[in-house]
Amino acid sequence: MSTTTYDSGPLLDALAAAAEDRIVFDLPGIEERYDALCRELPDVAVRFAMKACPVDEVLARLARRGCGVDAASPKEVEQALAAGVPISRMHYGNTVKSDRNIADAFRLGIRDFATDSLEDVRAVAEHAPGSRVFCRLATTGEGALWGLSNKYGCSPDDALTILETARDLGLTPAGLSVHVGSQQMTADAWHGAVDRIADVLAALARRGISLDHVNLGGGLPALGYRDKHGRPLDPPLDKIFAVIREGMAHLAGIPGHRLRFVIEPGRHLTADHGAIRAHVSRLAARRGPDGERQYWLYLSCGKFNGLYEMDQLQYRLVFPSHRDAESVPAVIAGPTCDSDDAYSHEDGLVPVPRELASGDPVWVLSCGAYATSYMTQGFNGFSPLPYTWIDGEAA
């Protein structure tokens, strides 16, 4: 068991006070993470990638601090508007959109659209006439837990064609964007992205296209995960920020553009400030097909109700009723009949108290990102978790 400084006392207190399963969001913790990001990257517009935590209270608190939103569908735009995010601080960051998605977003007031293909940019020109577009460049995704490298983004050459076409169709070619991959663990990834953007900016300037912004995308890491083997991931956050600052200075010096900068963190803002109070379904020892006896700890929540990313990483667990107890190595798994509903059992067993009984509380830390958005309606009848939050403000 390890708890580090980003697990706030109030969050742990709220977990201790919960008698039933739930996910708890620490709103002051999320605000502090946002403030820290603004200190690290002053003058950069932060637009929260809301799919990481589409919770009204989270959106409202971030909005109040000046944060914008990266939305991926008209429904997300509507939710963010209702939570108090001004439309002027939102863009449509999804390059995948139907004609109807574009028209609906335009009607809601969106004037900034991501794009990465001629087909899409033509559709934006038709259904959101006169809008601004920014072109997403493909990245390798190397160094990230989730590379996101195939589905999105175009080559530097295609970006030139797409932005020229945008201009010819009456759109404003406004920017370039990247996404270096989710939970990016290396500062080098941003180096590579900056170099790529720099080349395209220079080529655009030669063709008389002047951009007004660069969107550095998502990928900023959460701090509290463990890898598949149970080792702390420990991302080099300070170095990442230093590389981003250097990169922005370099890009701002490229002639022909007057650039602002935008960044779209998702998990970085919320992951470490959400935690689940779950309970033990059963600690059992079974012999598998190989004849080996193996402990399995089945929890009340898993991949389909809060721990969607459990096949790629390990969330930290706390067993509050068995601190400092004798432990056994176990595979951690959720309650459903899906075999993916488990930590990767080839890679890493987790020490768990030997005496755990059905019903004992378990806290799952750093699961405030991609938890609620990935919950199913109730796979196998295991309900999505209800959520609560720590307000942190005197009534």
Interacting residue ranges for ligand PLP, rule: CB under 6 A: 49, 51-52, 70, 93, 179, 182, 217-220, 264-268
Minimum separation from the CB atom of position 75 to ligand PLP (A): 15
Minimum separation from the CB atom of position 200 to ligand PLP (A): 18
Which of 269, 205, 361 lies closest to 49, judged by CA? Answer: 269
Dump the DSSP string for 4-30: -TTS-HHHHHHHHH-SS-EEEEEHHHH
Q: Which two tokens stand for residue 269?
A: 């803002």
Q: Which residue has the tokens 């920020």?
A: 241
Q: Are 315 and 333 in contact (CB under 8 A)?
A: no
Q: Which is nearer to ligand PLP, 61 or 277 (CB)?
A: 61
Q: Which is nearer to ligand PLP, 373 or 380 (CB)?
A: 373
Minimum separation from the CB atom of position 94 to ligand PLP (A): 7
Minimum separation from the CB atom of position 7 to ligand PLP (A): 20
Minimum separation from the CB atom of position 368 to ligand PLP (A): 11
Q: Which is nearer to ligand PLP, 77 or 220 (CB)?
A: 220
Sign, CA dihedral 177-83-65-107, equals positive
Q: Which is nearer to ligand PLP, 21 or 264 (CB)?
A: 264
Minimum separation from the CB atom of position 267 to ligand PLP (A): 4
386: DSSP letter: P
Q: Are 284 and 299 in contact (CB under 8 A)?
A: no
Sign, CA dihedral 111-112-113-119, equals positive
Q: What are phi and psi of 10, to 5 degrees?
A: -60, -35
Minimum separation from the CB atom of position 134 to ligand PLP (A): 10
Q: How far is CA 244 from CA 40, 62, 188, in A?
A: 10, 22, 10
Minimum separation from the CB atom of position 57 to ligand PLP (A): 19
Dump the DSSP string for 215-272: E--S-PPPSS-B-TTS-B----HHHHHHHHHHHHHHHHTSTT---EEEE--SHHHHGG
Q: Which is nearer to ligand PLP, 137 or 342 (CB)?
A: 137
Q: Which is nearer to ligand PLP, 219 or 384 (CB)?
A: 219
Q: Which is nearer to ligand PLP, 194 or 297 (CB)?
A: 194
* Distance, C-alpha 226 to centroid of its chain: 16
Q: How far is CA 155 from CA 62, 91, 152, 159, 206, in A?
A: 34, 22, 10, 6, 18
Minimum separation from the CB atom of position 49 to ligand PLP (A): 3
Q: Which is nearer to ligand PLP, 128 or 299 (CB)?
A: 128
Q: Which is nearer to ligand PLP, 93 or 175 (CB)?
A: 93
CA distance 250 to 259: 11
